[in-house]
Structure 1
């Protein structure tokens, strides 16, 4: 898992490039980041069927622009989110709604950008992935 943190932390340059323009370069970068993260991960939690889907969705969306796995950036580190919240249906529902609607105040003054084009199902998978990172 530590290698995953390092890969995703250094992937920031590719993420900045993926924010602009469009086209096939963005898709190639997304696939490359996802493949690198999977390759470097020591193990995937087999007990969590949403791990793979959540990882893929986090890589495809703009999540890693503001969040990193193991260190605070514009937003909190995913590991800090996982440590703070229990993995319960109520928390998953609350956090997935926050991913879709955005929010502020729980982690400082910088608001989380809303993602209204995400389906509830996808937001839930992403939250389950993040919560699976609990140490």
Structure 2
């Protein structure tokens, strides 16, 4: 019985040593497998946006997907939304106002708006 377990253990170790996983791929840095975030997505994740908005669910404000459905991906919409992000406002999605982000640069707000609008399916 002990010999059977010993042989079974040796067989298991032998078979696992022939797996298709490459040692270097498995234990090296996996920089290629990390999804690349857009600049707009990075900016959104660093700001207070997540307190009011989610990707696919309405919280206090609309979801990013709802915003993308409402507006086309063009310069006019990007400029409009970037102004809304910087100045804040209310009335478009309900009575609760969106906080202003006056210290945000116009180019950063445009990157955020472009990312949101790119989510349109």
Corresponding residue number in structure 1 for 2:105? 119
User: How many aligned residue pairs are there?
Assistant: 89
The TM-score normalised by the length of structure 1 is: 0.63
Gaps of 5+ in 1: 1-37, 45-50
Matched ranges for 1:15-94 at <5 A = 39=34, 52-94=38-80
* Structure 1 runs (4+) greater than 4 angstroms displaced: none
Gaps of 5+ in 2: 1-32
> Based on CA coordinates, which of the two structures has the bigger radius of gyration?
2
The TM-score normalised by the length of structure 2 is: 0.70
Distance in 2 (CA, whole Å) between partners of 1:104 and 1:76 is 12
Distance in 2 (CA, whole Å) between partners of 1:94 and 1:80 is 16
Paired residue secondary structure (2:81)? helix
Q: Which structure's residues are more often helix, by fraction?
A: 1
Over the residues paired in the alignment, what is the CA RMSD in angstroms? 1.6
Distance in 2 (CA, whole Å) between partners of 1:131 and 1:64 is 17
Distance in 1 (CA, whole Å) between partners of 2:42 and 2:80 is 21
